[in-house]
A and B are shown apart, each in its own frame.
Chain A
């Protein structure tokens, strides 16, 4: 266990080097939050009756989503991992007494956390300063807040377990570009990053909400805003845990198979 913490630590330190990138990220996320809130308010004003979420619920959704964007983005990959497969540096990772799947998993957690921790605070502060109903409200209760934290953590695991499948596919495809493009347009949309899932038509929603993508940002963001609460939230978290185990199982088995037939690129 200690070795995996050490991997997380060095990845974390490595990320902290990039201060300008963090600053740029903060500005982008604040601007994006404002745009998102304005767009939603336009929908709301045109017809509040058919609006599927409370207005302040949906603004909270946007603010929290942007504050923790690096934890929720599906297409935020570890370029190091793609590089090591593509250029053959993976040879070094295979001569370590460390499970490669766990290693990459920890590395991904650390890099997302490093980015998230740096960026979330200014965005949250601005969010709380903006007046209601446009700003960020507190969660409805403390229990709801705890559920949010649990759900966000598992959501992060689900996202990374999913990303691992993309990394492993690179053993066969060599270039991750295609997979990334599909993910940006398709999976991220189904995860609720463009518009919150309740805005989807009911019939489509009933399918989408059981897919693994709905176990990523959709669950924690809606729990924070109070759109999902109580027993429904607990069920949602159970579904997240289910997807985390399934994706990890598939990933581990696939990884085992891939590393057996691996060839090292570039001599």
Chain B
């Protein structure tokens, strides 16, 4: 069980304008501004859930992950994770969690991957039998057999990321924090990692919290979404409810023969040519069959497609609605 209540975190950042004069001035007196990285964040996550943590760059996602993993201390607020306060009981607490920072590496650069794993085994004081099982399981699920004896520096990004994720699961953590685990990966690697995360969640009942900018990650994995913007939590719920909460929009693309005389009420034209029209409708104002019948009364419809906006567009709309 993860519980955050009223967590705040500010950073003090030295600022100056560009140019030589400003740089010299900054040597003698610095001007600091306070950046509110997190303002009053509260949520709770039950065991075994997969939660997607999304938001634009600089929204405070990584800061939250770092607070939850005990790296950073918040300025105020409470955080209780399975009975631990992360930054206070760091040594015992870190044994219960696994963390992957997608933009950094935890593997030793010049030695084979397996050496890094052996080091983690000692650091986490993993029982040899448990380690053996865990390693075998991860090697099988992620197809690591050939990679283990390879030095980290010659691995491709996708291969390395698989090893990074395996490294953070060797000690059977209850909670797995993934900070942008699919950043920079190709589609095949992304798919493999998504499948793996799902499997681990199902089989080990690991709670997974992941941040990402890839909406397909969210669609494939997250039962629940936390949307961050400018340091505040602006949405907490499932992907479907997020869709209906913000958006009742459908796009209708019609190809037709004949002369279109009047466009029905309650639609917005996105694009219109002699034989094609794309309109946007609001389903709280009107319905799709109504619109279609108005069209078919006027012209001969040759082809129709009706689409809902993709998750990316949804999120983009939410960003816009909340002026992030």
Contact = CB atoms under 8 A, between A and B. Distances in A.
Contact of B91 (A6, A99, A266, A267): A99
B199 interface: no
A173 interface: no
B90 A94 contact: yes
B123 interface: yes
A14 B112 CA distance: 10
Interface string A5-24: 11101100110010000000
B103 A95 contact: no
Contact of B123 (A89, A96, A266): A96
Size class of the B contact interface (CB-based, 8 Å): 20 to 34
B128 to A, nearest CB: 12
Given A92-B106, A97-B94, A10 B62 contact: no
Interface stretch (A32-40, A207-215, A257-265): A257-265
Given A6-B123, A89-B104, A97 B95 contact: yes
Interface string B47-75: 00000000000000010001001111100
Q: Which of B71, B92, B105, B119 is the most central at the interface, judged by chain A CB atoms within 10 Å of its CB?
A: B71
A117 interface: no
B105 A89 contact: yes
B44 to A, nearest CB: 22
Contacts of B99: 91-92, 95
Contacts of A95: 69-71, 94, 97, 99
Contacts of B43: none
Given A89-B104, A97-B94, A3 B123 contact: yes
A10 B111 contact: yes
A98 B62 CA distance: 22
A17 B110 contact: yes
B123 A91 contact: no
Given A91-B66, A264-B66, A10 B115 contact: yes
Contacts of A198: none
A264 B71 CA distance: 8
A95 B89 CA distance: 11
Interface string B99-117: 1010111101111000110
B11 interface: yes
A125 to B, nearest CB: 29
Given A6-B122, A263-B11, A94 B71 contact: yes
A2 interface: yes
A264 B119 CA distance: 24
B124 interface: yes
A260 B73 contact: yes
Contact of B70 (A3, A88, A94): A94
B300 interface: no
Nearest to B97: A95
B94 A6 contact: no
A3 B94 contact: no
Contacts of A2: 122, 125
Contacts of A91: 66, 71, 99, 101, 104
Interface string A95-119: 1111100000000000000000000
Contacts of B125: 2-3, 97
B124 to A, nearest CB: 6
B124 A6 contact: no
Contacts of B108: 10, 14
A7 B119 CA distance: 7
Contacts of A261: 73
B142 to A, nearest CB: 20
B223 interface: no
Contacts of A266: 103
A10 B66 CA distance: 27
A158 to B, nearest CB: 27
A92 B101 contact: yes
A14 B115 CA distance: 10
B118 interface: yes
25 contacts: A2-B125, A6-B118, A6-B121, A7-B122, A10-B116, A13-B111, A13-B115, A14-B108, A14-B109, A88-B104, A89-B105, A91-B101, A91-B104, A92-B101, A95-B71, A95-B99, A96-B123, A96-B124, A97-B94, A97-B123, A98-B91, A98-B123, A261-B73, A262-B71, A267-B103
Given A97-B92, A97-B123, 7 more contacts: A2-B125, A5-B122, A7-B119, A13-B115, A89-B105, A94-B90, A95-B99
Of all A-B residue pairs in the complex, the 4 with the closest CB atoms, nearest first, are A6-B122, A3-B122, A92-B106, A94-B71
Interface of A: 2-3, 5-7, 9-10, 13-14, 17, 88-89, 91-92, 94-99, 260-264, 266-267
